Amino acid sequence: MRRPAASVIAFAPLALALLAGVARAGDIAPGDRRSGRDFMAPETQAMQADDTSNPGMLWVLRGAGLWEQEAGASGQSCTSCHGAAEASMRGVAARYPALDTATGAPIDLTGRISQCRAERQRAPALARESDDLVALATFVAHQSRGLPIAPPQDPRLDPYRTAGRQLFTARMGQLDLSCANCHDDNWNGRLAGSAVTQAHPTGYPLYRLEWQGIGSLQRRMRNCMVGVRAEPFAAGSEEFLALELYLMQRAAGMAMETPGIRP
């Protein structure tokens, strides 16, 4: 199985060397951009729109409880520092991934929550995709529902965004396909009976009927990599963070929907 180079920053200068494996995709025109919700059946759209029917709201409620729960040696909760999430977290998820000034590298919302828990609360780390961490991320992201995605315009993130675009267009796996082959070139088609969307991360963390649970954008990208028979990147890796940065830039201005629902 074939995958792009391990280091994202090292990967960027190698773009010309990878031309043979890069899909020549056309970017989606701004006027043609559509949320994944728009490709769903009316019944699924209605389920997402109704908080009493949206199963993702169970994770929002769980996250709300964890927000108030004291943890770690500090004996503090998220509320102790941030207060009511409805005010302090409004718009936060729409601006992630962002630059972590301590490391000089990008960090996503899940990573920031984990970092805050370890450094501020002095509590044991929560595993990525664990129910508690996903619930906290869903709760925080839910506070930005309806707001436009607003990626940080920090030039220090530009190399990562560039690397993310290169990863998005690089062919990989035994099927020799790139993300762009489906989500740019054939977004108005179907694959195995399912709609091919435009890969705009407006609803994450989101509930997938296939999972019977909620999951992160990175979980969805791992699914896609397995689908093309490529070795998935490690959870929280630079590659996934670069892809998240690029995808959020593609979706700039589109409304946050968390928790979204997809098949």
pLDDT of residue 86: 97
pLDDT of residue 192: 82
Which residue among 81, 116, 179, 224 is the active-site one?
224
Place 4 in a pLDDT band, splitting at 50, 70 and 90.
very low
Query: In the 3-class helix/strand/coil scheme, how is the chain assigned residue by residue?
Result: CCCCCCCHHHHHHHHHHHHHHECCCCCCCHHHCCCHHHHCCHHHHHHHHCCCCCCCHHHHHHHHHHHHCCECCCCECHHHHHCCHHHHCCCCHHHCCEEECCCCEEECHHHHHHHHHHHCCCCCCCCCCCHHHHHHHHHHHHCCCCCECCCCCCHHHHHHHHHHHHHHHECECCCCECHHHHHCCCCCCEECCEECCCCCCCCCCEEECCCCEEECHHHHHHHHHHHCCCCCCCCCCHHHHHHHHHHHHHCCCCECCCCCEEC
Res. 7: pLDDT tops 60: no
pLDDT of residue 23: 35
Q: Tens digit of pLDDT for each residue in 31-53?
A: 899 999 999 999 999 999 999 99
pLDDT of residue 32: 92
Inter-residue contact 74 to 83 (CB < 8 Å): no
Which residues have C-beta within 8 Å of that of residue 130, sequence separation ≥ 6?
none
Which of the two residues, 193 and 230, has the higher pLDDT score?
230
pTM: 0.89
**Ramachandran bin of 77, using left for φ above 0, alpha for ψ from -120 to 50, beta for the remaining angles:** beta
Which residues have C-beta within 8 Å of that of residue 191, sequence separation ≥ 6?
182
- Residue 182 annotated in active site: no
Res. 247: pLDDT tops 70: yes
Domains, the chain: 1-22+33-263 (1.10.760.10)
Which of the two residues, 161 and 192, has the higher pLDDT score?
161
- Minimum mean pLDDT among 12-16, 138-142, 248-252: which range? 12-16
Q: Tens digit of pLDDT for each residue in 162-219?
A: 999 999 999 999 999 999 999 999 998 988 888 999 999 999 999 999 999 999 999 9
Mean of pLDDT values over 150-160: 97
